Amino acid sequence: MDMRPDSRSLPDLSVRELRTLLDRREIGAVELARAYLDRIGEVDGRVRAYLTVTAELALEQAEEADRRLASGEAGALEGIPMALKDLISTRGIETTCGSRILRGYVPPYDATAYARLREAGAVLLGKLNMDEFAMGSSTENSAFAATANPWDLSTVPGGSSGGSAAAVAAGEAAFTLGSDTGGSVRQPAALCGVVGLKPTYGRVSRYGLIAFASSLDQIGPLTRTVEDCALVMNAISGLDPHDSTSSPVEVPDLTTALRDDLQGVRVGVPEEYFGEGLEPGVERAVREAIERLRALGAELVEVSLPSTKYALATYYIIAPAEASSNLARYDGVRYGYRSPDGEDLVENYLATREQGFGPEVKRRIMLGTYALSAGYYEAYYVKAQKVRTIVKSEFDRAFERCDLIATPTSPTVAFELGSRLDDPLAMYLSDTYTIPASMAGIPAISVPCGFSDGLPVGLQLIGRAFDEATILGAAHAYERSTDWARRRPELVSAG
């Protein structure tokens, strides 16, 4: 029987399915890259996920992939078209971080995560839109464009990796990489109905990831299925001599952790994650998903994480403090944009930063500089670090009684474009449920768990440090018991 799908529907298949077709030589890598480029041409005018499309490079890389597939030397992701958030450095390809200040910046080296994807054979389609310096929850803080949610083009895709999530949802890449500092992989994954994993801090090298808050930043995959997430993690994880915070803890083959039931798994449910601000439609879908986990064999246990309510405030001290230091390097001399204005060097620095940074980045630099200044350092920064330790120890205690923790990913579904732009606090609240795991440095995945008012809802599963296997295994069992992973937004005209 000929299983070969027509080329217009190729972009809707999973990485695993595409690999099978490539291995059997039922499709070629060049043909596949062209199918994705066609899809981008067809829908990206409406979705605006891409800042740069590297069509020529993609076809070259795909030709190489075809040669390796033919000679039987194929890597695990050979020929799979993917794209990267525009803060992951790519040699010779503009990398803007969504900021005017880095417009025209072309990195002289590759991020380790990208280099590892290339070693595994993946093909680069381009660079994806994001909130400027990864600060935001809607991708509207991009200096270049607002990305739309493929499920409803009048709503946001979430952020800051909104381009990465929207591209996967719209079939504009087989998978993408984003980055997550306080929720920026998981929250857009939830809002766009795709799978998104924030790995344990240190699991994936940050070398070549443009820094926002270095003690929190992690690169993570956005995929259509949990199995695809495991495949991408296998390729990008592990120790890197270029990043001293990358971990030597051994990386297991995560595809072997995927399971079909949850016998013997204890799932913690923290009531602190089901309070004020949670939309009823989201709560309903998440509670049903947790019941499904029970039906699959899991034992549900109540756990308590009482400091959850302090996590957001603490994050908005620590992350801006680190950002104010990391962003000091953008002076117009070494990278990207340089203002033509200013009588002397200092005036030129000031003009460059005034013109180069957008309002949210300036707000964070001011918040962070204030929190670190003499006289306020003890009251804000040191106190925030103490709360961070408490948040982490509460997770440690909870994990004595359970193997993973289930919560909503985002308190709401996708909101209207523009609706939170004048209210930074409302925007910050998008990350209420994702920030605690970031502060604790532990892994967490968002997996689609239904719809509310026609928009996707995400279930978050949080695990112990370096135990991506358990949350991927449980997410897989859940995914297999539903058909959410097969739903696609209606963007492409039938034909």
Q: Which is nearer to ligand GLN, 186 or 353 (CB)?
A: 186
Q: Which is nearer to ligand GLN, 197 or 265 (CB)?
A: 197
The yes or no reply on residue 182 touching ligand GLN (CB under 6 A) is: yes
Helix axes 112-119, 226-236, angle to 10 degrees: 110
Q: Which stretch binds ligand GLN (CB under 6 A): 176-184, 253-261, 293-301, 471-479?
A: 176-184
Q: Which is nearer to ligand GLN, 316 or 466 (CB)?
A: 316
Among candidate residues 138, 164, 184, 307, the one labeled active-site is: 184
Whether 85 is catalytic? yes
The most distant pair of C-alpha atoms in the chain lies apart, rounded to whole Å, by 74
Among candidate residues 99, 138, 142, 160, the one labeled active-site is: 160
Site for ligand GLN in 314-333 (CB under 6 A): 319
- SS3 readout for 134-194: HCCCCCCCCCCCCCCECCECCECCCCCCHHHHHHHHCCCCCEEEEEECCCCCHHHHHHHCC
The yes or no reply on residue 52 touching ligand GLN (CB under 6 A) is: no
Cis peptide before 160 (omega within 30 of 0): yes
Among 54, 61, 164, 181, binds ligand GLN (CB under 6 A): 181
Among 147, 149, 184, 352, binds ligand GLN (CB under 6 A): 184
Cβ-based burial of 305 (10 A; exposed 0-12, middle 13-18, buried ≥19): buried
Q: Which is nearer to ligand GLN, 118 or 198 (CB)?
A: 198
Separation CA 440–CA 289 (nearest Å):
25
**Tokens read off for 165:** 């999530």
Q: At a CB cut-off of 8 Å and minimum separation 6, what does 396 contact?
A: none
Among 160, 200, 409, 410, binds ligand GLN (CB under 6 A): 160
Q: Which is nearer to ligand GLN, 134 or 305 (CB)?
A: 134
Q: 453 and 279 in contact (C-beta within 8 Å)?
A: no
Q: Hey, what amino acid is at 338?
A: R
Minimal distance, residue 303 CB to ligand GLN, in Å: 24
Whether 160 is catalytic? yes
Strands (E), 181-247: 195-198, 218-223
Q: Which is nearer to ligand GLN, 204 or 289 (CB)?
A: 204
Q: Which stretch binds ligand GLN (CB under 6 A): 48-56, 181-189, 202-210, 405-413?
A: 181-189
Among 180, 272, 322, 479, binds ligand GLN (CB under 6 A): 180
Cis peptide before 9 (omega within 30 of 0): no
Site size toward ligand GLN, by CB under 6 A: 13
Minimal distance, residue 168 CB to ligand GLN, in Å: 17
CA neighbor of 228 nearest in space, from 460, 476, 407, 488: 476
User: Which residue is listed with tokens 């719809």?
Assistant: 451
The two beta strands, 299-303 and 266-270, are parallel
Site for ligand GLN in 108-137 (CB under 6 A): 134-137
Among candidate residues 14, 85, 179, 438, the one labeled active-site is: 85
Whether 198 is catalytic? no
Quick one: how far is CA 59 from the chain centroid? 26
Query: What backbone torsions phi and psi does residue 378 show, to the nearest 5 degrees?
Result: -65, -45
In the complex, the residues that contact ligand GLN under the rule CB under 6 A are 134-137, 160, 180-184, 212, 319, 431
Catalytic residues: 85, 160, 184
